[in-house]
Amino acid sequence: MAQTQRGIQKKQRINELLKELVRKATHLCAAFTPTLFRVAFVPTFALLSLVLAAYCASETLRRKGVTVPVISAFTAACSRKRDENQFVFGPITLACGVLLAALLFQPLSARVGIYALAFGDGLASLAGKCFGTIRIPFMPQKTVAGSTACFAAIFISVFAATGVSLTALLAAAVGTVLELIPLKDFDNILLPLAVAALHQFLL
């Protein structure tokens, strides 16, 4: 019985890690959008908006029992336990974070904000799942490994984009603190906007 239980728990952990990989691969894909915006802003913005609308329609249909090819499978692959029988907001807030950053801020500031979302938030959860044995006090869902990965990823990506170490340090600090706030999927909006606003203020 104990061996069977361990086998079930192992399968559940593997399944959770696979789902996390799908979610964070989607986050990392957001890192390509600043380049696409620079090459063709309007077509890229329109295409992302269309994808967002299609996803919203698919989720509405899925909640009514209608399966939409590809999109419904993607939703199932990246949904968390808390998302069971719920509207999955993660991809929506991710797209909104990217679109709002591109719309509201100067190109470089938007790039910095999107990189913070793609790399910082993207790698924090994955590192926490894989290596997070030490929990942060009063924040049981957050780990030292996840926050460290978030800080390092934002610092490196922002420094690569700006070449300014102080800006990268401040962006990493702000992004890491925001990632600690239990906002569920809405950190996908707050994090890129806050980091982009910080960068634009420092210009």
Digit-coded pLDDT (tens) for 106-132 = 999 999 999 999 998 878 877 777 776
pLDDT at residue 185 in the model = 82
Q: How far apart are CA 125 and CA 131, in angstroms?
A: 10
pLDDT at residue 123 in the model = 83
Enumerate residue ranges in the chain where pLDDT < 50: none
pLDDT at residue 190 in the model = 94
pLDDT at residue 119 in the model = 92
Phi-psi region of 85 (alpha: psi -120 to 50; beta: other; left: phi over 0): left
The closest alpha carbon to 120, from 197, 45, 173, 52, belongs to: 173
Q: Which amino acid is at 124?
A: A
Q: Is the pTM of this model over 0.75?
A: yes
Q: Provide the CA 186 distance to its chain's centre, in angstroms.
A: 10
Q: Which domain holds residue 40?
A: 2-202
pLDDT at residue 105 in the model = 97
Domains held by the chain: number: 1
Per DSSP, the residues of 74-120 read HHHHH--GGGTTS---HHHHHHHHHHHHHHHS-HHHHHHHHHIIIII
pLDDT at residue 47 in the model = 95
pLDDT at residue 67 in the model = 80
Quickly count: other Cβ atoms within 10 Å of residue 190's Cβ.
Answer: 17
